[in-house]
Amino acid sequence: MCDEIYFGIDIGGTAVKMGIMNSRGELFASDTASVNFDQYETPILQTVKKVSAVFIEEHPEYKDKLKAIGISATGQIDSRTGVVSGTAGHIKNWQDSRIKEEMEELFRLPVAVANDANCAALGEYWIGAARGVEDVIVITVGTGIGGGIITGGKLLSGARGIAGEMGHFSIKSDGEECTCGNRGCYERYASTTALVRMINERMKKGELKAFADNVSGKTIFEELGKGNAKLQAAVEEWIDYVADGLVSLVHIFNPSMIIISGGVSMQKELFIDPLSVKIKDRIMPAYRENLEIRQAALKNNAGLAGAIYNCICTLIEE
């Protein structure tokens, strides 16, 4: 079988990952480079163009075989035009970057661009934990909350390709202010950042004994593993928040699988399993049948794989 060869690029807020993959999702070569080495004074797209050209020069055996380029990018990406239509605000010189146009000009190849969270979802659907599952919600729990929704085997992209922004639906109308301008957003309560903030606050108030100099998702779960009951209760509250959002999403999208990614998703017994119980307890019975809640499988390559899968799908559609 003659597989087609693709160039995948995953542009994050700190680094860009590049890789050569075939149409079966096998990765042949990869490399990463920093994009914030001078605090974004050099625009990210300029860095990406430079390092990706070098990467391809370093792998001449693939150069003439490349069929297309799939790009996953941070921020709100208009997937029809491949332009950055909105950013989280902290990345200089990124808004309005014309990724698709400039990369097509540089490489003389078709380019498809999508948001990184959506690409991560597509990666899990293509070659990861949700392979062959047509209705999936993929949620990344980390600094914020991101994700992608696959329904009927297709990514829900919305009018401008920016659907599935799960961090910013409100779970508390009178809740905390969010960077997006709304109140009570899901990620203000259910992200790893929110968990760390909550634990720090309780330690400050003396409700929890200090257990680490540097409280992080990692140190929290390490301490939980030792059987800290008070910490356990606090983490339970946080898992309730994570469940809050997912219970609503299950009723809207009726998935047969929810995939959790991000650092904390490594915690099966202490996070994924109790989360699964909480979700199933609170959804209506018909939604519960066959619903599975699982850890992501692809880790760091999900965005790259999803970018290439998105590219393959886009080429087929055109």
* Residues near Zn ion, by CB under 5 A: 168, 178, 180, 182, 185
Closest separation in Å from C-beta 179 to Zn ion: 6
Q: Mark out the alpha helices in the chain (DSSP H runs).
A: 44-58, 60-63, 99-107, 116-127, 186-190, 192-204, 217-224, 229-253, 273-282, 285-288, 302-317
Given the complex with Zn ion, which of 67 and 183 has the nearer CB atom?
Answer: 183
Given the complex with Zn ion, which of 70 and 146 has the nearer CB atom?
Answer: 146
Closest separation in Å from C-beta 171 to Zn ion: 11
Closest separation in Å from C-beta 246 to Zn ion: 17
**Amino acid sitting at position 133:** V
Closest separation in Å from C-beta 88 to Zn ion: 10
Closest separation in Å from C-beta 182 to Zn ion: 5
Given the complex with Zn ion, which of 177 and 207 has the nearer CB atom?
Answer: 177
Q: Label residue 163 exposed, middle or buried (CB < 10 Å: 0-12, 13-18, 19+).
A: middle
Given the complex with Zn ion, which of 25 and 167 has the nearer CB atom?
Answer: 167
With tokens 């997912």, the residue in question is 246
How far is the CA of 268 from the CAs of 51, 122, 145, 197, 220, in angstroms? 37, 22, 18, 22, 14
Q: How many CB atoms lie within 10 A of CB 295?
A: 17
Given the complex with Zn ion, which of 192 and 267 has the nearer CB atom?
Answer: 192
User: Residue 163 and residue 280: Cα distance in Å, rounded?
Assistant: 25
Given the complex with Zn ion, which of 143 and 182 has the nearer CB atom?
Answer: 182
Do residues 138 and 128 touch, judged by C-beta distance below 8 A? no
Q: Which residue, 149, 152, 85, is CA-closest to 117?
A: 149
Closest separation in Å from C-beta 178 to Zn ion: 3
